Amino acid sequence: MRFSTKKKDKKRAKPVPIEETDQQPTEEDQEAAAALMAALVGGEEDGLRSMLMYGDVNEERSAEMIVGLISLSEQKLKEGQERLDDMKIYISTYGGSADDMMAIYDIMRLAKQKCDIETIGIGKVMSAGTLILAAGTKGKRKIAKNCRVMIHAVSAGSVGAIHNLENELEEIQAIQEAYIRCLVDETDLTKRQLKKLLDQKVNVYLTAEEAVEYGLADEVI
Query: Which residues does the annotation mark as catalytic?
Result: 127, 152
DSSP secondary structure string, 161-205? -HHHHHHHHHHHHHHHHHHHHHHHHHSS--HHHHHHHHTT-S-EE
**Taking phi first (over 0 means left), then psi (-120 to 50 degrees means alpha), and beta for anything else, what does residue 10 get?**
beta
Question: What is the SS3 string spanning 89-156?
Answer: EEEEECCEEHHHHHHHHHHHHHHCCCCCEEEEEEEEEECHHHHHHHCCCCCCEEECCCCEEEECCCEC
Q: How far apart are CA 132 and CA 141, in angstroms?
A: 10
Residue 104 Ramachandran class (φ > 0 left, ψ -120 to 50 alpha, else beta): alpha
For residue 67, the 8-state DSSP code is H
Give CA 26 to chain center in angstroms: 35
Q: Indicate the pairing of strand 87-93 with strand 117-126.
A: parallel
